[in-house]
Structure 1
């Protein structure tokens, strides 16, 4: 009888540890970054908005955003559920192909043509670019965003709230109501 109780306790303990680890893994796995071409291909099969994080190797604020914003569990969860996520080094010399269109390095802008197009020629880093499910530009948003502000922005665009209210209206109304329990 004692062996059965011990076995049940061991199984329960193992299951609890497994469940806790699985729950933690959901938040610590990080953002599922893919290439611009892969995001385009996935959008053709399963339409979803895309966010392109346009950065450079030398950009200090890009690194801060990577460390502080893109590691926030609420941000990670929302991004992975609602967007295709792309990291684009603006200064890459590698050719980028998207939907049959090829983009190469543009020496005049010291950036890849894809980055120049996404940033509408305004080369500022970091810039977060929002594309709709048909790969049309919604808006590029230049500058560093902390986790709280970024969460407000991604839910504003992710929930199509930008179609019905201004960002300030959203922050003061819909966001406060929808994400009251968010720990940002």
Structure 2
């Protein structure tokens, strides 16, 4: 009996600590509503259920304590299935996936209208939106912890606004010193 109670306590404690380092994901509609009350940028992880690099991004990057803490402090984080059936309200328009096939939920499916609107062509794509919900930049492909840190910090501090040439971005990229562990 004591061992069972100790085991339950340990599992609850470990679960609590693990969840403290996770990103606080919200829906797209929730992020837009939150943004109206307290303006913050939005980070949208556009994924699909069948996408291997999307799963790697979740496991290797978004589960990182430093990434999760930074995202939670500075962004509203949205996890959006680019081929899912969620209905989203954005800029006064309703977006859905009228050709969604539930039988293909874990395989390639029809692209969501919002994915098409933002011209998402591959997964994962991480879209960064400004405090008014306008697209800043779509970051395409898997990113490791230090790569993600660079973009999270660059967009949060609005440094992207001064990086108007590839040369300026390269200088910024080469000068960037990662602080996140992982």
User: Normalization by structure 1: what TM-score?
Assistant: 0.76
Describe the shift of the 1:182–1:95 C-alpha distance in structure 2 as closer, same or farther (beyond 3 A). Answer: closer
Q: Which residue of 2 aligns with 1:30?
A: 22
Describe the shift of the 1:27–1:104 C-alpha distance in structure 2 as closer, same or farther (beyond 3 A). Answer: closer
SS at match of 2:77: strand
Question: How far off its partner does 1:25 sit?
Answer: 3.8
SS at match of 2:62: coil
Alignment of 1:95-114 (within 5 A): 95-98=87-90, 100-105=92-97, 107=99, 110-114=110-114
Matched, 1:53 2:45: yes
Question: How far off its partner does 1:125 sit?
Answer: 0.3
User: Normalization by structure 2: what TM-score?
Assistant: 0.77
Q: Which residue of 2 aligns with 1:10?
A: none
Structure with higher Rg: it is 1
Instruction: Please tell me whether the aligned partners of residues 31 and 77 of structure 2 are also in contact (alpha carbons under 8 angstroms).
Output: yes
Q: Which residue of 1 aligns with 2:10?
A: none
SS at match of 1:92: coil
Alignment of 1:76-91 (within 5 A): 76-91=68-83
Give every structure 1 segment of 4 or more consecutive aligned residues whose post-TM-superposition deviation is greater than 4 Å. none
Matched, 1:138 2:136: yes
Matched residues in 1 for 2:18 and 2:129: separation?
25
Instruction: Please tell me whether the aligned partners of residues 124 and 143 of structure 1 are also in contact (alpha carbons under 8 angstroms).
Output: yes
SS at match of 1:58: coil
Matched, 1:183 2:178: no
SS at match of 1:105: coil
| Structure 1 segments unaligned to the other structure (5+ residues) | 1-20
SS at match of 1:69: helix
